[in-house]
Amino acid sequence: MISVKKLTLATIFLVFLLLFSCQANENDLMFVGEGENWSSKVTVNQTNGDETYQIQINYKGYSIQKIDTFSYYVEAKNNGVVDFGGNKAFLNKEGIYQSDLPISNSPSTSVKDELVIKVEWNGKSESFTLINN
């Protein structure tokens, strides 16, 4: 039989594990938005005094193969702290671009901020706002 002491220790361990795993994503902010041809999600991870970024850009059209490369630029609408972009980005066969960005700042993005993304492809461009979701 399992002793009460072992069962209690296992329960306490599981409770702590759950608490810490829930807390790890507490400072993640997710900004989403869409335009006529594109949609995007930017995740801002704030941990240990750093702020890092992940971006996902989705092409909403059906002619994915006609887009060789595209470029994008993201900036904060309110505070000007968030500022990054990419050139010669490629879509996968589902029309999705995803990247963990190799940049970091001190935490300065808040839930009230809005980001603006500009996407340029095939001589066209589109801008739209991303809001915290």
Token reading at 9: 């220790």
pLDDT bracket for residue 39 (50, 70, 90): very high
Q: Where are the domains of the chain?
A: 27-132
CA of 117: how far to CAs of 15, 19, 49, 52, 79, in Å?
40, 35, 25, 17, 15
Q: What's this model's pTM, rounded to 2 decimal places?
A: 0.76
The better pLDDT of the pair 57, 28 is held by 57
Res 3: pLDDT? 65
Average pLDDT over residues 23-30: 68
Distant-in-sequence contacts of 21-30, Cβ < 8 A, 24+ apart: 27/107, 29/109, 29/110, 29/111, 29/132, 30/132, 30/133
Average pLDDT over residues 73-100: 90
Token reading at 88: 């010669």
pLDDT bracket for residue 50 (50, 70, 90): confident
pLDDT of 75 strictly over 80 = yes
Token reading at 11: 């329960």
Instruction: Tell me if 64 sits within 8 A of 93, measured CB to CB.
Output: yes
Q: Which CATH architecture has domain 27-132?
A: Sandwich (2.60)
Res 10: pLDDT? 52
Average pLDDT over residues 26-46: 93
Q: In the sheet that 50-59 helps form, which strands lie side by side, from edge to edge?
A: 83-89, 70-76, 114-121, 124-132, 28-34, 38-47, 50-59, 96-105
